Amino acid sequence: MNPKETSLSKQKFRNTLRSALLIAFLWAGIAAFQATYEYAILASYNVFPGLNSYIVLLKSNLLTAFTAGFLAGLLLLPRVNSWLRTHAYGPALLLSLFSILALYFLMSLVGTFIYNSLRLNVSIFDEAILPEAYEYLTGMENLKNFLFWLLVATITILSLQINDKYGPGVLWAFILGRYFRPRTEVRAFMFLDIRSSTTIAEQLEELQYFEFIKEFFRDATPGILMTKGEIYQYVGDEIVVSWPLGKGLENNNCIHAFFEIQKAIQDKAPYYQKKYGVAPSFKVGLHCGKVVTGEIGVIKRDIAYSGDVLNTAARIQSKCNELEVDILLSETLLQQLPLASSEFRKRSIGQVELRGKAERVPLYTIEEAD
């Protein structure tokens, strides 16, 4: 594995680990709330189980919920998200439900052993725990906890789906009202367009062409997310990707995104060729600059970008066919990228006239170093 692949693999793992830890701490917080709420309910009926009992319950709840959340975030929820992206929602939700059931019963078994070990002050493997564990697992208390954590897991999955709907980070921007009032930002944009899409559409039936586009977008997405990109829009057969400028420049993310997507599509070329009779290829244009960012819409609210940088990036991408290259970027962006000669080779295209621009724009193309 070359250094670039190692770096991106580490980034992917860090993203997964970050999500798993977030879910783990969130579930641990919910478990602490649950334990405190149950203790308060008992106290309101003048039933005082004692502070020590509360601490034992709190410890076992925290440990069990944190472990369950971490395992769910690391192993289960990524698979659930994959099912929801690649299957109809009904079957995918059933698969998700069975997975959550399996995880719950596993962690319920572990949790009751931990709780009784702490309560009885014996080893977790002590035989004295078995009757207590059996009584809990077959009782109404376990059913109550199952329904509660099923709701928590369902809300977690739905929250992740809503986050996917808007794109990483955008949901929090809505919740926090970051763009309720328009603000100026500096961003990098990549316009990605499938080559010869009109010809491909004529070769395929309408439904088949739609599936073709859908699969292409799905295969392109991991490369975008691994390089910290945000999918701004799908427009026909085009993807518009955005980065806050710092993230786009970091590790040459906006350039790596192109090559990661290219590799993913090339690796699946035999699959596309067999299923559709044609393998997709694409071209991209990149540019950076100031945009105004803000919330728009009433019924279907969204975060929108406005500025000349988007028009310029689109015009740059439109020159790829004429100049016979797969990637074009502006000199404005290139000068800010920390390109290493051992990783990339840049080639000047020269001053190019872009539609709607009064002055010619210096453009470059990029190749991976051998």
367 contact partners, CB below 8 Å, separation of at least 6: 344, 345, 347
Please say if the pLDDT value at position 1 is more than 60. Answer: no
pLDDT tens for each residue of 311-324: 999 999 999 999 99
| Mean per-residue pLDDT, 285-295 | 93
| pLDDT score recorded for residue 263 | 94
SS3 content of the chain, % helix, strand, coil (to 5): 60, 20, 20
| Long-range CB contacts for residues 40-43, cutoff 8 Å, separation at least 24 | none
Q: Are 242 and 183 in contact (CB under 8 A)?
A: no
Dist. CA 122–CA 144, nearest whole Å: 26
Determine the pLDDT at residue 136. 79
Q: What is the pLDDT of residues 83-125, one digit of tens each?
A: 666 666 677 767 777 777 777 778 778 878 887 887 788 888 8
Helix, strand, or coil here: 300? Answer: coil
Contacts of 91 (CB under 8 A, 6+ apart): 83
Distance from C-alpha of 231 to C-alpha of 225, rounded to nearest angstrom = 9
Question: Of residues 30 and 64, which shows the higher confidence score?
Answer: 30
Please give the average per-residue pLDDT across 216-233, as a whole number: 90
The pLDDT-based confidence of 274 (bands split at 50, 70, 90) is very high
Run of H or E residues at 189: strand 183-194
User: What does the pLDDT read at residue 169?
Assistant: 66
pTM: 0.74
Residue 347 three-state SS? strand
Q: Which residues fall within 8 angstroms of residue 218, CB to CB, at 6 or more apart?
A: 85, 86
The mean-pLDDT minimum among 23-32, 42-51, 270-279, 325-334 falls in: 42-51
Tell me what pLDDT residue 150 has.
82
Say if residues 191 and 284 touch (Cβ distance below 8 Å).
Answer: yes
User: Hey, what are 34's tokens?
Assistant: 């649950």
pLDDT at 327: 95
pLDDT of residue 239: 95
Q: Of the given ranges (4-13, 91-100, 279-288), which has the lowest mean pLDDT? A: 4-13
Q: Which residue has the higher pLDDT, 10 or 240?
A: 240
Q: What percent of the chain has pLDDT over 90?
A: 37
Q: Is the pLDDT score of 63 beyond 90?
A: no
Q: What is the CATH number of domain 170-368?
A: 3.30.70.1230
CB burial string 127-155: b at 16+ within 10 A, e below: eebeebbeebeeeeebeebeeebeebbee
| CA torsion, ordered 345, 346, 349, 351, to nearest 10 deg | -170
Q: What is the pLDDT of residues 176-223, one digit of tens each?
A: 777 788 889 999 999 999 999 999 999 999 999 999 999 999 999 989
Output the pLDDT for position 109.
82
> What's the whole-number mean pLDDT along residues 301-320?
90
pLDDT grade, residue 16 (50/70/90)? Answer: confident
What per-residue confidence (pLDDT) applies to 3?
A: 54
pLDDT at 161 over 90: no
pLDDT bucket at 154, cuts 50 / 70 / 90:
confident
Per-residue pLDDT averaged across 287-305, rounded? 85
pLDDT for residue 240 is more than 70: yes
Listing DSSP states for 225-292 in one string gives HHTT-EEEEEETTEEEEEEEHHHHHGGGHHHHHHHHHHHHHHHTHHHHHHHHSS---EEEEEEEEEEE
Can you tell me the distance from the alpha carbon of 216 to that of 218, in angstroms, rounded to the nearest whole number? 5
Mean pLDDT of 217-234: 90
Q: Where are the domains of the chain?
A: 3-166, 170-368
DSSP class of residue 72 equals I
Exposure string (b/e) for 178-208, b if CB count within 10 Å is 16 or more? Answer: bbeeeeebebbbbbbbbeebeebbeebeeee
Summary mean pLDDT of the chain:
84
Please tell me which residue, 339 or 316, carries the higher pLDDT value: 316
